[in-house]
Amino acid sequence: MMSLLRLHTALRPRVVSAVTCGVVEPVLRAPYLSTARWLPEFFAWPEQKRRAWQRDRLQAVLRHARNEVPYYRDVLAGRDVDGVDLTELPVIDKAMMRPCMDNFLSRGWRDIPHIAKKTGGSTGDPFQYPLDKRAWVHIYGANLYFWESTGYRYGERLVMVSSPPSLQSASEGLKTRLRSVLEGRVISAAGCHIDPETSLERALAAGRARGALWYGYASHIAAMADAVLEAGVRVPAPKAIVTTAELLFPTWRERIEQAFEAPLRDQYGCNDGGIMSQGCSHDRLHLAENVSIVEILDDAGRRCPPGEEGDVVVTNLHARTLPFLRYRIGDRAVLGAGTCPCGTEGTFLERVVGRHGDNLQLPNGKHVSMHPLGKCFFDARHVRRYQFVQPEPGRIQVRLEVEPGFDADERSMILGEVRRVVGSVVDVDLTTDEPMEITRGGKHRVIVRAFDTA
């Protein structure tokens, strides 16, 4: 019996892969797994060849945009797209597109195979848009490629820990459900509560499911780790854990790796625009160059050199229904220099600093982003999560969730670090008994600022 089960487990990925490539992909006309299996070859190409491949895709998208999209008909009027450099195009964003979507949509876009997408309301401004099926194939293919780079094989059981809305498909149609079944997806405990009881139940359910890969929000998996360590139970480890959609704190990483003894990889992605990336063993985020070209721009719109923080601007290499060309997604990040120490070729982000609005704004006009704030907790041993709440320019409250052992020394160490970063222009206080604010979608926010400055 046991050996039959083992045989089944061993054969499943092969059977699922064969059925997916041979039947599902032709029926859906979406070769996502074939793309995932082609990506190792793509990433092994010399850089020049990858750039030429990107340039061909870009030119095809530009040609389409010039001919079919009103906004680009004006911008590229009479231009030969082969001679257009990306940096000549204007940077666009959601605020600019939303009032005049017709101007940015392709003529006859409904006839181009696409998927209806929407971004969550977690940023306060939900956005609905069509994404070309071709673009989806590349982004999902890259996602599978990154998952498989952890040792997981497509077709092995995949545990979705919790079920935040942003990880669910917009169209729960028959085809999506079919793919879900084939992929062996299991949800370990629905909802997105992260209280200790739910978190423990979620961890135990994930263990029982014997998943090869766990996938979910970092804050949810960190809460599972806390609950498991507290209860002193052992949960069968997956091959890897992949977190997504939130900043992964170093303290969370430590707790997760300690509780589950599985390697942890963090993904950073964004469907509108189209970014897919996954952290390597050196914690740099390697970008899926088959999906898009990513630029980091300074406030004047110039490209930042590696190491310098700026706006993330993305150009999708496959989107025609609604081209995303130099689209500012609202995040801030830092580009890495040279080749990553892990040895993988290609463009990578040194780090993502957070969403554009995720900063403290001080009365002296200074902005403080998450990175320096996160450094204040490097030596904090008993802090599970933290949050900066700024109700007015002159006041910052540091909210902490701590564990036993947190004492006055640690408190004053953190306060001192925070005061050093923000200076003396603001009152800083620290509390351990105010609840953390989370978004409607269940995401943890590091910075909650109650006002906007002009």
Tell me the window of 171-179, 209-217, 221-229, 278-286 that interacts with Zn ion (CB under 5 A): 278-286
CB of 335: closest distance to Zn ion in angstroms?
13
Cβ proximity to Zn ion: between 66 and 284 the closer is 284
- Report how far apart, in Å, the C-alpha atoms of 302 and of each of 79, 81, 90, 311, 359 are: 23, 21, 12, 10, 22
Return all residues near 291 (Cβ < 8 A) that are at least 6 apart. Answer: 135, 138, 139, 142, 274, 275, 276, 316, 317, 318
Does 342 bind Zn ion (CB under 5 A)? Our answer is yes
Closest CB to Zn ion among residues 20, 149: 149
Q: Which is nearer to Zn ion, 178 or 342 (CB)?
A: 342
Please report how close the Cβ of residue 146 comes to Zn ion at its closest, in angstroms.
12
Q: Counting contacts by CB under 5 A, is residue 287 touching Zn ion? A: no
Q: Please state the separation of Cα 320 from the chain's center in Å.
A: 23
Separation between Cα atoms, residue 108 and residue 114, nearest integer Å: 12
Residue 265 in contact with Zn ion, rule: CB under 5 A: no
- Min separation Cβ 44 and Zn ion, Å: 15
Asked if 340 interacts with Zn ion (CB under 5 A), we say yes
Q: Toward Zn ion, which CB reaches closer, 26 or 250?
A: 250
What are 190's two structure tokens? 């629905």
Tell me which of 94, 284, 328, 399 binds Zn ion, using CB under 5 A: 284
Stretch that binds Zn ion, among 76-84, 106-114, 168-176, 275-283 (CB under 5 A): 275-283
Give the integer Cα–Cα distance in Å for 72 and 174.
36
Q: Which is nearer to Zn ion, 58 or 285 (CB)?
A: 285
Helix or strand (DSSP H, E) at 201: helix 196-208
Q: Please choose, from the candidates 310, 267, 330, the residue with its C-alpha nearest in 3D space to the C-alpha of residue 140.
A: 267
Among 90-98, 100-108, 165-173, 344-352, the segment contacting Zn ion (CB under 5 A)? 344-352
What is the 3 state secondary structure string of 260-322?
Answer: HCCCEEEEEEECCCCEEEEECCCCCEEECCCCEEEEEECCCCCECCCCCEEEEEEEECCCCCC
The SS3 assignment for 220 reads helix
Residue 280, interface with Zn ion (CB under 5 A)?
yes
How many chain residues bind Zn ion (CB under 5 A)? Answer: 6
Check residue 11 for interaction with Zn ion (CB under 5 A). no
For Zn ion, the closer CB: 279 or 374: 279
Alpha-carbon gap, residue 32 to 290, rounded angstroms = 12
Q: Which residues bind Zn ion (CB under 5 A)?
A: 280, 282, 284, 340, 342, 344
